[in-house]
Structure 1
Amino acid sequence: MVHPPKPGVSAIVTLGLIQILSWGGSFYLMAVMANPIAADTGWSQQWIYGALSLGILISGLLAPLSGRLIARSCGRMLLAASGGVMAVGLIIMGLSHHLLLFLFAWLIIGVGMAMGLYDALFATLGTLYGGQARGAITGITLISGFCTSLVWPGTALLIHWLEWRGACFAIAALLCLTVLPAYHFALPAPQGDLRQRAQSGRAAESDLSATLFWLLCTIFTLASVIMTAISVQLITLLQASGHTLASALAISAILGPCQVGSRIVDIAFKRGHPVWTAFFSVGLVALGLLLLACYPQWALVSMVLYGAGNGLRAIVRGTLPLAMVKPEAYAVVAGRMARPALIGQALTPLAGGYVYQQFGASVTLWLLCVLALINVVLVIVLKQKLPHQPQQPASGARN
């Protein structure tokens, strides 16, 4: 199959900016909105954050379907429609005066997340561009690494001006106005026989052995669980280690720049097999968490290491499966891999909160260290099981 030329700089910048808006209007929204919603409605924080978990869970359950649609050359259409679906959810959320309607809004937003966040975009890029998608994926994650630095202050400003309900409507309008034209500009229209491509994708999917598939699933799921737990509990863990609230906030602020920095470094090594990026990602995460557990006074250094490793995680998610299967099969395989990782993310706040409440901060942190070390071992096992020619899966098919 002949792939179009790799995306240009303007397309990569556009996709990166739209990802910032999409993540900011869904996954990262509750970090700023939860308190105003609780103050206005009287709903408990547990139910409010539970709505976000519901959205992530729905996204995970729909990920394989999203992958199959992308494999049939529907990726551009799916991504373009994601903004409208998220906007509908945000409008319902802004109109919610009952908790059940609020939860329903997040069910809709979860559908939009399955259609328009990293997994769907990377699958579409891999299907369109094959091995040439790696540079685009790295560039997009580099730009979107500034997401929280931009969307959290921006959302807070909208809440200050419009209150939280008005902020929902404003973000919905922004998604409606920008997402559809952006994807039509940045991605080429599908070409070729859609039925033939779907059949080719199903046949090529068998090139990836069950062992490699489940290794990848486990690695991605553990990485997502660790990331979610740290995102939710980092401030609390740092305070429990003896840091003041101001100090904990200052230390956590280093994560964003470190994530972006590691993605810049990855650009210099883009010719290497992505399994090495995966090894550095899980290794740095494990080293950072172990340093924090053993030497709390070195928290700043530990978060630099963790942030760098976590920054590479998004790149690995997109590029490692792409190096192991044909482009026609990539969307289907990526969709199947996304389900356990997203379900793990959805359940992590509940499980992590239970562990913290029952056993305390130290046990919680050491449990994360154990999970991180297991992930290092799994990546080493994956490296050993890869074919000797890294660009070819066992069947000899090229990516």
Structure 2
Amino acid sequence: MTTVPKKLPIVLALGIVQTLAFGSTLYLPAILAEPMANDIGVTPGWAFGAFSLALVVAALLGPAVGARIDRFGGRNVMTVSSLVLAAGLALLGLADGIVGICLAWLIIGIGMATGLYESAFASLTVIFKSDARGPITGITLIAGFASTICWPISAWFEIEYGWRITCFFWAAMHIVLALPLNRFFIPSGGKSPQTDIAQKLHAEGRPVETVTTNYFTMPMVLLAFVFAASWFTATAMAAHLPRLLQISGLGTADAIIAASLVGPAQVIGRLFEFGFLQRMHPLISARLAAITHPIGSMLFLIFAGPAGMIFTSLHGMGNGILTIAKGTLPLAIFGPTGYGKRQGFLMAPSRFAQAAAPFVFGVLIDGYGMQALLLTTLLGILTLLALMVLKVSASAKETD
């Protein structure tokens, strides 16, 4: 009989790793894109474009990475991600032109494909199978502080030592902190749900080839849209939130403070999910979360700067719950079999949406200022509608 590892040490380790991983990748351009661009003599749009390359790489590699975790567990994959992210960030700090920056972000993209939430969620599902909802929520509770912790650290290092030293600092953190946590706290090996089913069929004398998973169904399409729309909004906010708040009339310091509220608000939302909504289907919490950004953005558009903290708090709460939903909804609807590969397919459109978000939303801010929020408001409403339809589709079409 296989002993299930204790949850708390794994959750704490992966939560710290994810905080570092997000702070040094997705949240980095919001602080470093402008000084980086100014230093090498290009516009900030080029810096964000280079960052988008990383998201495209992550999208393309996602299904293969997930399938490997399904088969072998996440320990080796997550360990390699620490090395790759460290190498990419070090190269970013050494880059002396746009070509070097693009190359660095391409390498960082490999690290993102192997080291962000999708890999962590798949690793937990291999370990805990259908009981992974609690651990998934746990690591997102910790990593919800990524922007709150890492934005001020990145900003301080950039002001005091420059953007290159900031990149070197985060590269070092992946070696001295993330690498040992991934290596020593994630259990090695482990049987995937597919392996369990295959062994059962073999014992019953039935062909193992019958263990198949359909990755292209209407519930999958709806979930892929939900995740893509929410990741577009989350990435747009991560890249441009301080600037958006400054456009509304807030000073630089006040804008950073208001933007940093996203982290605590995400944790509050996740605590709400972990406590009050834990006994309910993840669809319920996802629907509640989908409407928070539209409500907050409308208040922000009406009242501008004075509503900045309300907007960032509502956005953070919704984004925090939706981040959990990205891990728990596929598990609740489709079960643990093929979870990692399924996550790779589900998140591929999200990565492309993320890749487009910094540029598209930046262009909209340049042209329309705060009115750019109308796009993310619409996406939030469409996300809610998709989640309402998903209940019928999933329950009627899918089984574990």
Category of TM-score, reference length = shorter chain: 0.7 to 0.9
Distance 1:332 1:282 in 2: 25
Alpha carbons of structure 1 residues 239 and 161: separation in structure 2 relative to 1, 3 Å: closer
Counterpart residue type for residue 96 of structure 1:
A
Among 314, 338, 341, the residue aligned to 1:332 = 341
For structure 2, which runs of at least 5 residues remain unmatched after alignment?
199-207
Among 378, 383, 389, the residue aligned to 1:375 = 383
Indicate conservation of the 8 Å contact 1:86/1:113, yes or no: yes
Say yes or no: does 1:256 pair with 2:260: no
Say yes or no: does 1:292 pair with 2:300: yes
- Which residue of the partner structure matches residue 345 of structure 1? 354
Say yes or no: does 1:318 pair with 2:327: yes
- Which residue of the partner structure matches residue 394 of structure 1? 398
Distance 2:228 2:13 in 1: 28
Distance 2:288 2:78 in 1: 30
Q: Which moved more, 1:152-161 or 1:89-98?
A: 152-161
Q: Which moved more, 1:107-116 or 1:229-238?
A: 229-238
Counterpart residue type for residue 215 of structure 1:
L
- Which residue of the partner structure matches residue 78 of structure 1? 77
- Which residue of the partner structure matches residue 202 of structure 2? none
Distance 1:361 1:32 in 2: 19
Residue 40 of structure 1: how far off its partner (Å): 3.2
Alpha carbons of structure 1 residues 201 and 76: separation in structure 2 relative to 1, 3 Å: farther
Counterpart residue type for residue 71 of structure 1:
D
Distance 1:201 1:282 in 2: 39
Indicate conservation of the 8 Å contact 2:72/2:191, yes or no: no
Among 333, 346, 354, the residue aligned to 2:363 = 354
Say yes or no: does 1:189 pair with 2:198: no
Indicate conservation of the 8 Å contact 1:54/1:106, yes or no: yes
Indicate conservation of the 8 Å contact 2:73/2:192, yes or no: no
Among 274, 282, 294, the residue aligned to 1:274 = 282
Counterpart residue type for residue 266 of structure 2:
Q
For structure 1, which runs of at least 5 residues remain unmatched after alignment?
none
Counterpart residue type for residue 138 of structure 1:
T
Report % sequence identity.
32
- Which residue of the partner structure matches residue 109 of structure 1? 108
Q: CA RMSD in A?
A: 2.8
Residue 378 of structure 1: how far off its partner (Å): 0.7
Q: Which moved more, 1:338-347 or 1:82-91?
A: 82-91
TM-score (norm 1): 0.88
Q: Which string of whole-angstrom CA distances, capped at 9 and with x for unpartnered residues, describes residues 82-125 of structure 1?
A: 01011111222222223212211110010011000111111121
SS in 2 for 1:337: helix
Q: Which string of whole-angstrom CA distances, capped at 9 and with x for unpartnered residues, describes residues 299-348 of structure 1?
A: 44343322211111210111100112231311111010111001101011
Q: Which moved more, 1:98-107 or 1:238-247?
A: 238-247
Indicate conservation of the 8 Å contact 1:94/1:166, yes or no: yes
Distance 1:201 1:112 in 2: 33
- Which residue of the partner structure matches residue 28 of structure 2? 29
Alpha carbons of structure 1 residues 8 and 127: separation in structure 2 relative to 1, 3 Å: closer
Alpha carbons of structure 1 residues 80 and 160: separation in structure 2 relative to 1, 3 Å: same
Indicate conservation of the 8 Å contact 1:63/1:339, yes or no: yes
SS in 1 for 2:357: helix
Residue 154 of structure 1: how far off its partner (Å): 2.5
Q: Which moved more, 1:264-273 or 1:313-322?
A: 264-273
Alpha carbons of structure 1 residues 234 and 36: separation in structure 2 relative to 1, 3 Å: closer
Distance 2:159 2:313 in 1: 32
- Which residue of the partner structure matches residue 232 of structure 2? 225
Residue 78 of structure 1: how far off its partner (Å): 0.6
Distance 2:255 2:78 in 1: 37
Indicate conservation of the 8 Å contact 2:258/2:312, yes or no: yes
- Which residue of the partner structure matches residue 364 of structure 1? 372
Alpha carbons of structure 1 residues 249 and 316: separation in structure 2 relative to 1, 3 Å: same
Distance 2:138 2:307 in 1: 31
Distance 1:249 1:133 in 2: 35
Indicate conservation of the 8 Å contact 1:262/1:308, yes or no: yes
Distance 1:89 1:159 in 2: 18
Indicate conservation of the 8 Å contact 1:96/1:102, yes or no: yes
Residue 387 of structure 1: how far off its partner (Å): 1.9
SS in 2 for 1:324: helix
SS in 2 for 1:328: coil
- Which residue of the partner structure matches residue 172 of structure 1? 171
- Which residue of the partner structure matches residue 213 of structure 1? 220
Residue 224 of structure 1: how far off its partner (Å): 0.9
Residue 66 of structure 1: how far off its partner (Å): 1.1
Indicate conservation of the 8 Å contact 1:71/1:197, yes or no: no
Alpha carbons of structure 1 residues 385 and 237: separation in structure 2 relative to 1, 3 Å: same
Aligned residues: 389
Indicate conservation of the 8 Å contact 2:37/2:46, yes or no: no
Indicate conservation of the 8 Å contact 2:259/2:312, yes or no: yes
Alpha carbons of structure 1 residues 42 and 202: separation in structure 2 relative to 1, 3 Å: farther
Counterpart residue type for residue 374 of structure 1:
L
SS in 2 for 1:387: helix
Residue 264 of structure 1: how far off its partner (Å): 1.1
Residue 298 of structure 1: how far off its partner (Å): 4.1
Counterpart residue type for residue 42 of structure 1:
G
